[in-house]
Amino acid sequence: MTSRLSSGVNGLDVILKGGYLNNRTYLLKGGPGTGKTTLGLHFLEEGLNNNEKCLFINLVESKKELLIDAKNFNFRIDEIEILDLTPGGEFLNKEQDYDVFKPSEVEQVPMIQEIRNKIKETNPDRLVFDGLTNLYYLYESKYKLRKNIISLIQYLSEFDITSIFIAEDNSEFINILQFLTSGVINLKFDGYERKLNVIKFRGSDYLKDFHSMVIKGEGINILPNLYYKKTTTKLKEGIISSGSKEIDALLKGGLETNTNTVIIGPTGVGKTTLSISFLRNSVQNNNKGIIYLFEEAQKVLINRCKEIDMPIDKMVAENKLIIKNVNSLDTNPIEFSYMVREDVKKHNTDLVMLDSITGYYLSYVNDHYSKLDLIKHLQNLSNYLNNYGITVLMTNEMANITGDFRSSELGISYLADNIIFLRYIEMNGQLNKIIGVLKKRLSNFEKSLREFEITSQGLQVGKPLNNIKGILTNNIEFIDK
């Protein structure tokens, strides 16, 4: 089995199923500012951590600038051998007539020979060659350029070196490199988010699709776009009560743990409040919960719960309940899913609430993420949480306040194990609220509808409305009994 070398970035190692294959040459390609050099430096930093010899060959940034940039990320660049081939670099100072941007047969030979000499001298375990695109301008013959790249790769393999070539994704030279290297990693930055995907990885499987990439003070963090199927593993069974015997009666006892429940209804009908009732009751029974708010502020939610005699401030103060406001400017859907996964591990969470799917959708839908993409991300996240024994509550807004009933505006009904709906109806000239259950995968449920009200004493739910028909179409008729 071929050994592997860590990329120095955990997320990339996950994508590459363990890291780069040893003694292979890989291409990192992308536009300016996509993080190519930084990702290459992570690779060399990991080599230093393993007491390996590292070499950085530079054709782009001056050595002085490289040292400054590397130290901003706390990379130990001063412990790495550097061959500076930039204009003004050590090599070009020796060759006063040499200009990297004026191709000539005479000019090619000294540079290639200097590279070979440095490799032979240092005999590195890891090599990063930055700015390889500039070699393209030294060769008038594409055939000779290809021949020399092949020769360089073969030369590297003789020394058992794992190497990374870094090049700009803006020339036909890239096509040559993509064919000759063992793997190709593509980096993108569109001003909204950074992405990474593997185009080719010879000799190994890898995770497909685009993955999110973040550059922070400590360097690069890659968040793999992982996909989860719902497992059939038997998890701990339990029931979560709403705290209301009437609502529990509708659900034949409550909500089963490890399930995904969607509570749907028009604006202001009480979706968030109903979700809080389940979550609050669960926390009171020694469980832990997290709420992710896409619309309402944390302080507003806490105050609103106090006004209806469902206080949660003490739970928040004791860290039994975590509330987070989500800013779409700070995250994308992949980063949000990663944040949730990290939070539930850190806080040993039993129940997660997303308020709301509509807010999630409005926050993230753009030219980069379609409605279908977001539904897939939500399904993936809920599957992950359910697989780890976590109960999920989501609220979803219906556009119509009254009229014909529609179970889902965004096509997410199939994600839910349970669907509870709230809606307005007009009765005797007044606007009332009702509650009902549309779907419950693991057990039976009450088919009746009940009147629903939020008061200063909490949730008030009436008896089944067995004497009324046409509620879902808002064509109300009273049945004489």
How do the pLDDT tens digits run along the chain, 481 residues long? Answer: 578 999 999 999 999 999 999 999 999 999 988 999 999 999 999 999 999 999 999 887 777 788 888 888 889 988 999 998 876 555 444 544 444 444 444 445 567 788 888 999 999 999 999 987 777 666 666 677 777 788 888 888 888 899 999 988 876 778 888 888 999 999 999 887 899 999 999 999 999 989 999 998 889 999 998 888 877 666 778 999 999 999 999 999 999 999 999 999 988 899 999 999 999 999 999 999 999 999 899 999 999 999 999 999 999 999 999 999 998 777 888 889 999 999 999 999 999 999 988 888 888 887 778 888 888 888 899 999 998 899 999 999 876 555 555 555 545 677 789 999 998 887 777 788 989 998 998 899 998 888 899 999 889 998 887 766 666 665 656 665 5
Distance CA 293, CA 359 (A): 8
The span from the first CA to the last CA of the chain, in angstroms, equals 78
pLDDT of residue 71: 84
The dihedral through the CA atoms of 295, 352, 301, 405 has a sign that is positive
Are 74 and 67 in contact by the 8 Å Cβ rule? The answer is no
On whether the CB atoms of residues 47 and 53 are closer than 8 A, the answer is yes
Which residues lie below 8 Å from residue 274, measured CB to CB, with a gap of 6+?
242, 247, 263, 420, 422, 435, 459
Fold agreement (4-223, 239-478)? yes
Pick the CATH number of 239-478 from 3.40.1650.10, 3.30.460.80, 3.30.70.260, 3.40.50.300: 3.40.50.300
Cβ atoms 192, 366 nearer than 8 A: yes
Rounded CA separation 440/20 (Å): 46
**pLDDT value for 103:** 44
Q: Give the β-pairing of 126-130 and 162-168.
A: parallel
Return the pLDDT at 105: 46
> 158 by DSSP, 3-state: which?
helix
Please tell me the distance from the alpha carbon of residue 23 to that of residue 26, in angstroms, as a whole number: 10
- Residue 424 to residue 401: CA distance in whole angstroms: 6
Phi, psi of 110 (to 5 degrees): -60, -40
Q: What are the two backbone dihedrals, phi and then psi, of residue 314, each rounded to the nearest 5 degrees? A: -65, -40
Instruction: Find tokens 């003490």 and name the residue.
Output: 314
Under CATH, to which class is 4-223 assigned?
alpha beta
Q: Which residues contact 234 (CB under 8 A, 6 or more apart)?
A: none
pTM summary value: 0.80
Task: Please report, for the chain, the start and end positions of each structural domain, with discontinuous segments joined by +.
Answer: 4-223, 239-478
Give burial (CB, 10 Å; 0-12/13-18/19+) of 204. middle
